[in-house]
Amino acid sequence: MISALNLPRLSATEMLRGIAAPMLIVMLLAMMVLPLPPFVLDMLFTFNIAFSIMVLLVAMNTIKPLEFAVFPTVLLVTTLLRLSLNIASTRVVLLEGHTGPGAAGKVIESFGHFLVGDNYAVGLVVFVIMVVINFVVITKGAGRIAEVGARFTLDAMPGKQMAIDADLNAGLIGEEEARKRRAVIAQEADFFGSMDGASKFVRGDAVAGIIILMINILGGLIVGVLQHDMDIARAAKNYTLLTIGDGLVAQIPALIISTAAGLVVSRVSMDQNTGQQLMTQVLAKPLPLLITGAIIGVMGMVPGMPHFAFLLLASGFAGAAYWMHQRNLTAEQADSAPAVTPQAAPETLDVSWSDVTPVDTLGLEVGFRLIPMVDKAQDGELLRRIKAIRRKFTQDIGFLPPVIHIRDNLDLRPNSYRITLKGVEIGAHEAQPGLFLAINPGGVSTPIAGASTQDPAFGLPAVWIDAAQRDSAQQQGYTVVDASTMVATHISQLIHANAADLLGRQELQQLIDHLSRDTPKLVEDIIPKLIPMVTLQRVLQNLLEERVHIRDMRTIIEVISAHAARTQDAGELTALVRVALGRGIVQQLFPGKSDLQVMALDPDLERLLVQSAQVGAGDGLVFEPGLADTLLRGTQAAARHQEQLGLPAVLLTPSSLRPVLSRFLRRGVSSLTVLAHTEVPDARSIKVNSVIGSKA
């Protein structure tokens, strides 16, 4: 039924919170109708006292009134609770009062005997005094403060709204901050308005207490004398003591709640609760305490005065004043200790270029649980692997990458790490030290118990397992690595993928210096006489962007030197260099002497693209949207077919189309390599597995 009505699914806690308030109101109303045994009354009276104390403590510890915005509702609920208990206890008193003072439970009996000394006249006076204090003093004052606060808050709303609009128009705050401030203003108006009305509940409760007291006494006398044949003195004593005990049990929590209401509406909003304000404003200065102690001491010396009490309290005030004076002196000395000379202060506060922090080219940030993996003092395994990664990169790509700067980052989750390139995140994941990552390379159908995740380097499904499952996972076909190996592989994959961005001017200069040791004359004649450094850097970056290594720098320099006099265009020079490096490019894609099993364009589509490239020479090739979509979809399907055959996704095109097709298609097929016909050595045979595009 719930799913049919499309109702939201709630947790057990949310459902309990949702029905708690309605159930409470129903229980309070039930207490007025259903008879309650004395034991239940004891529990409810005790709960009423405890709840009122808790409300008072919460009110004292709030910083701003809105932190206790539910207080008006609490006033209503507590008032209803007390009235319900009065009705329930009245029923028991009138029905069972003839049996003795314990008829309505131990709590009422204790208040009737212990607090008023078993004297109903004293109890009546105490009850009336408490009602007067609550009604005339506390409740009336709190109600007046709430009334004035509500009026002032409403009057101040337009000015506050205009101030918010002015700050928003001046750009000092954003729209979100302005919305929050407006909401706070509306909540303040609602709160003080609600408090103004809720204070009437407390005043009505005090009046109801007096009326209930009179009704119970008169009703008790009538019931005791007429129904239970008691004499008037005994009936008056029994029912009056029970009524007084009942009234005191109800009025003490009412007095506490009224005090809490007064504290909430009378406090001035500061960044301190009531106790802190008292300590910092009333008891913060030693002089008032010292003068007070002196006056009390003089009064204690007057003949006939209780010397011990006055002199003891005077000594306490004097001691507190001395202690506070010493504390203030210590604080002043601490504040003045680090003072510097006027000449030194501007120098220490001045800004210099040393305050500019350079951005790391390569960075690794780790959460605190991964620190042992990169801590040299703890022989971190990942440190050795990072050194091996840079060595392998240098051997594979042909230049030394920047150092990977490692630091801890407490803003990250404990098991998280992130890899940055020039301050920008290029990869992030989580590692589980002490566990092993079982990677499904494909084809493994047997599930293994553990926390499911994904291999960050290649996106393969994986599971975190413990050491006991390692052998079993390997036997089932999983590739199992530890956490440091996973992070190292992720770093290696990312720096290979971003090799072009890692070849900066500093790395290029180091590469040229290294090359000049073997062929100094070649480098001296070409750089920068024939070609500037920036053009050489762009050519090398073009090669790296398409995953072509630059280990054969001699060939690259020779090709550039042969054509630099004719063109300085980095794109043309890159194409010429690729032709010279063609044997190495093909060997990297298809090792050995096997056939080149590649993808190719449909002849008609290829002819159309070549003509478009010739017409738009110099401006680049612009694809018609429908043609671009067809070309991209066909390339993606052909690349998947190549991968299913276990072959690299290689597209063979005319040299005039190769650069533009490479830039366009690699956005949709990241693993694609586009080769020109001129880059394929004559000794290698070609086999076309897939044809992209349909005949026109």
* Chain center to CA of 661: 44
Q: How far apart are CA 451 and CA 464, in angstroms?
A: 5
Q: Which helix (H) or strand (E) holds 115?
A: none
Residue 494: CB atoms within 10 A of its CB come to: 18
Other C-beta atoms lying within 10 Å of the C-beta of residue 480: 21
pLDDT at 696: 42
From residue 452, give the alpha-carbon distance in Å to each of 248, 418, 462, 463: 63, 20, 6, 4
Mean pLDDT rounded to a whole number for the chain: 78
Q: Mean pLDDT highest for which of 96-105, 180-189, 413-422, 616-625? A: 413-422
Give ∠ CA 299-303-308 in degrees, rounded to 5: 65
Please tell me which residue, 164 or 550, carries the higher pLDDT value: 550
Give CA–CA dist 668/659, Å, rounded. 15
**Residue 578: pLDDT band with limits 50, 70, 90:** very high
Q: In this structure, what are the phi and psi dihedrals at residue 567, rounded to the nearest 5 degrees? A: -145, 145
Nearest alpha carbon to residue 361 among 419, 418, 412? 419
Predicted pLDDT of residue 168: 66
What is the predicted pLDDT for the residue at 112? 63
pLDDT tens for residues 582-607? 898 888 888 877 788 899 988 888 88
Higher pLDDT, 226 or 511: 511
The pLDDT value recorded for residue 487 is 92
pLDDT for 428 equals 93
> Which residue type sits at 454?
Q
pLDDT surpasses 60 at 339? no
Beta-carbon count within 10 A of 659 CB: 22
Closest C-alpha among 682, 684, 689 to residue 594: 684
Nearest one of 579, 668, 582, 586 to 630, comparing CA atoms: 668
Predicted local confidence at residue 116, as pLDDT? 58
* pLDDT given at position 495: 92
Does 345 have pLDDT greater than 50?
A: no
- The per-residue pLDDT for range 296-316, each reduced to its tens digit, is 788 778 777 777 777 888 788
Global pTM exceeds 0.75: no
pLDDT reported for residue 668: 80
Query: Any idea which of 11-15, 101-105, 342-346, 674-678 has the lowest mean pLDDT?
Result: 342-346
Residue 270: predicted pLDDT: 52
Which range has highest mean pLDDT (243-247, 503-507, 618-622)? Answer: 503-507
Residue 225: band (very low, low, confident or very high) from pLDDT cuts 50, 70, 90: confident
Q: Give the pLDDT confidence score for residue 418 in this predicted structure.
A: 93
Residues ≥6 apart with Cβ < 8 Å to 376? 383
Q: Average pLDDT of 48-66?
A: 79
In this predicted structure, the answer to whether residue 419 has a pLDDT above a threshold of 90 is: yes
Nearest by Cα to 250 from 456, 112, 375, 445: 112
Residue closest to 523 by CA, chosen among 541, 535, 511: 511
pLDDT grade for 431, boundaries at 50, 70 and 90? very high
Supply the DSSP symbol for 99: G
Q: What sign results for the dihedral spanned by CA atoms 572, 578, 581, 582?
A: negative
Q: Which residue has the higher pLDDT, 324 or 121?
A: 324
Residue 618 pLDDT > 50: no
Q: What are the angstrom distances between the C-alpha of 168 and each of 177, 179, 182? A: 9, 10, 12
Q: CA nearest 465: which of 438, 488, 429, 430? A: 438
The structure tokens 């010396």 sit at 301
Give 431-488 as a DSSP string. Answer: --TT-EEEE--S---S--SSEEEE-TTT--EEEEE-GGGHHHHHHTT-EEEEHHHHHH
- 400 against 228, higher pLDDT: 400
Q: What is the pLDDT of residue 436?
A: 92
Q: Which of 111-125, 194-208, 637-651 has the lowest mean pLDDT?
A: 111-125
Does the structure show a pLDDT above 70 at 462? yes
pLDDT-derived band at 657 (thresholds 50, 70, 90) equals confident
- Per-residue pLDDT tens digits for 63-107: 777 777 777 788 778 878 877 877 777 777 777 766 666 666 667
Q: To 10 degrees, what angle do helices 232-266 and 71-96 make?
A: 180
Residue 115 is predicted with a pLDDT of 60
Percent of the residues in the chain that have a pLDDT greater than 70, as a whole number: 78
Region 492-518 average pLDDT:
89
Per-residue 3-state assignment (H helix, E strand, C coil) for 557-584: HHHHHHHCCCCCCHHHHHHHHHHHCHHH
Quick: pLDDT tens for 367-403. 888 888 888 877 788 888 888 888 889 988 989 898 8
Omega within 30 of 0 (cis) for the link into 528: yes
